[in-house]
A and B are shown apart, each in its own frame.
Chain A
Amino acid sequence: MLSNLGNILLFGSIFITLSIIYFAYQNLKEKNILIGKNLVYLSFFQITFIIASFLLLIFAFVFSDFSLLAVYQNSHTAKPIFYKIAGVWGNHEGSLLLWVNIMVIFSFLFFLFNYKLKKSYSLYTLLIQNILILGFLVFLISNSNPFFKILPIPSEGLGLNPILQDPALAIHPPLLYLGFVGSSIYFSAAMAAILSNSNGKNFASSIKIWVLISWSFQSLGIIVGSIWAYYELGWGGFWFWDPVENASLIPWFCMTALAHSVLVLEKRNYLYNWVLILSIITFISSVTGTFLVRSGILNSVHTFANDPARGMYILIFLSLMIFFSFIIFFKRKINDNFYLEPISKETFILGNNWFMMFYLATVFIGTIYPIFTQVLYDTKISVGPPFYNSVIAPIIIPFLIMMAIGPKIRWIKQKYNDYKSLIFILILSCVINFLIFTFLKSYNLLSNLIIISSLFLIIHSLKDFIINSKTKSYYNLPSFLSHTGFGILMLFIILNHNYSREYDLNIKVGEAKKIDNIEIKFENLKIEKRDNYNVIIGNFNILDLKKNYQKNLNPEIRIYDNPQTLTFESAIKTNLKQDLYLTMSNIDGSDFYNVKFQIKPFMLWIWFAAFLTASGALLRTFLKK
């Protein structure tokens, strides 16, 4: 029943999408200046159908309709309702439906907002976006249909992987998808701008807000994913340079570059080609990332049940997309003459883009390299975090400095003569750095330089903001928030990196152990029964003999029934200064419990700074009017 209804909705969507493509094409050939009303109605039907199908799938998960294969494989009646809903996008089929939903929503909104723009531009955008939607819809129906039936109907589902039953992970896919898939709309818009010979300025101002929105959500998705990795994986780190993380970071670099260079195009009508290329590669890298991660070529948590046909389909689709977008791009050469003064906002923004491309290249090479060696020499390798750290860290320093100065520079041309405050801030940063250095003992030169440059960025932005706020102009508030946030982020990441401490031990119940000034006592074990799992709770007492504090930490070992899995939950005590982080594990019921105890300074500040950075762009989307 549900399955049939779902399939009808999906086929309906395909039909509507096809009609939109047809009518948009017809409408383009007609001479009149107005966009046909029928396209508006069709778009409205399309969004209604696709959202209805998504709601229907949520409904099936909530009421545990196991006649659907996707529900049977990923849900269970005993699961809390929140995770039943999260289960919708916790699997390949459902997440693909979410993907198509976001594409349609963005298409609809973009069409509505830009209805009054040049007709051919709006129509081409609609046309191309719908070709993309069609591609994904066909993929959805032909090989990843979430409404696939099973007979006989099972009485109970297999359950959702317990590691996914977590609030941060439940909201993380929709956030990230808004970023990933949101970039499809400016891919289409860029194609449309080329095909309709649009003016660069108009193109820039029409996509600007969408770039900012997708950038913010992409950032939020990455942050929430890191928070999850931090407390769930039990390693105490929040960024591992894992292929999955890299796959989300590559489009993020593109979006960051685009969010800046689009300003140059809007204000000065420069860099048109470059903005077009960025718009195109953002979406391409999003799809490529998804492909690499989903197909199992790169090892990851996100590897769903493997089906070679899936990988093949995305690969073909991707190749066609790359092929046609570049053909269109090179066929219609857009004349892009410009001359940049060395000290101007344009040059600084171009500088930002260069940095972004450098980071992108680094992460891309690191992620792709193992695949190449596998194919070419048949050696199995992976690229470790030290690679990324040693390549990216030194380049962060000039980047932070430029980030501080950039927003202050005017468009077109400026004589820079503010050296006095520059030197003053630099000295101030060095002094603060020296204070940190003496308080917290030694660390290496590179860290010192990064701390100085991030302090420089923070102080410089604060100064600019205070000067600006005297004139009551708050237009720069968003970029101030993002830039300062990024400075704070870098500062605390480096501090955290240098001052984290870690103690590993195996310990029996009732024992205590002293390392350095810290005494770890394993008081007792408790066993409890909760909603859908049993749990063993360890009670640890941490005593810092030097600073004289005492904390109780309760890590857990959870035993889930459906599917039967163990998970280890870390115990975290957070305050402004540091996180105390403790995980315990146990091998095959041995008396010994393996314990990892970590002191991670300033974790709360890292999250705060990351959210601050992401909030800037969101604020800009509201502040603009």
Chain B
Amino acid sequence: MLTKKIKTRLLFLVSIVFITVFFLIFIYLNLKQNILYFNTPSEIFMNNQIERNSIIRVGGMVKKDSILQNNEEIRFVLTDYERELIVVYSGTVPNLFSEEQEAVVEGILNDKKYLIADRILAKHDENYMPPQMKKILKENAK
């Protein structure tokens, strides 16, 4: 028969496994909910599965002469040289934000051509660009 010591130890082990599995599922479910997909304007155009109210990230080039400002918001066009996306944003912009520069915006898609951004990601220096972005822009520019 099992002694008391072994019994408690067995109980301990089983509960550890149980708790670990429980928390891993907990982490996984939360992860599923909070993923931000990175897209380009053309990918948004092609993809019909993007949900309206989930937050996404879009990267592209700020189109020349497209920045418009009024008292509340900043509007500009983000392009990957194939498709364009209108972005509406209010707040301060990162220091390297200007026309004909790359930018990554984060926000909710209103329809396929219109994004309400709540963040424009700061790029820390002029040489820095997300690796995925560099690749896409290079391919499209050809």
Contact = CB atoms under 8 A, between A and B. Distances in A.
B55 interface: yes
Contacts of B37: 379-381
Interface string B31-46: 1011111110000000
A381 B124 contact: no
A163 B127 CA distance: 14
Interface in A199-247: 233-235
A486 B55 CA distance: 32
A434 interface: no
Task: Please tell me the size bucket of the interface on B.
Answer: 35 or more
7 contacts: A369-B35, A382-B57, A391-B30, A504-B90, A587-B69, A587-B74, A588-B98
Interface stretch (B79-87, B108-116, B128-136): B128-136
Nearest to B9: A339
Classify the interface of chain B: helix, strand, loop or mixed: loop
Contacts of B127: 305
A594 B98 contact: no
Interface of A: 161, 163, 233-235, 296, 299, 301, 303, 305, 339, 358, 361-362, 365-366, 369, 374, 379-384, 386-387, 390-391, 504-507, 513, 563, 565-568, 583-585, 587-588, 590, 592, 594-596
A241 to B, nearest CB: 10
Given A380-B132, A506-B70, A596 B91 contact: yes
B67 A565 contact: no
A303 B93 CA distance: 22
Classify the interface of chain A: helix, strand, loop or mixed: mixed
Contacts of A233: 122
Contacts, number: 116
B83 to A, nearest CB: 17
Contacts of A383: 31, 34-36
B8 to A, nearest CB: 8
Interface of B: 5, 23-24, 26-27, 30-31, 33-39, 55, 57, 67, 69-74, 90-99, 122, 124-128, 130-132
A387 B91 contact: no
Contacts of A506: 69-74, 90
Contacts of B130: 299
Contact of A161 (B38, B70, B73, B125): B125
Which residue, A339, A585, A595, has most C-beta atoms of chain B within 10 A? Answer: A585
Nearest to A588: B98
A585 B124 CA distance: 15
A299 B129 CA distance: 8
A588 B126 CA distance: 16
Given A361-B27, A594-B91, 7 more contacts: A382-B36, A384-B55, A387-B34, A585-B94, A588-B99, A592-B70, A592-B71
A568 B92 contact: yes
Contact of B125 (A235, A384, A565, A594): A565
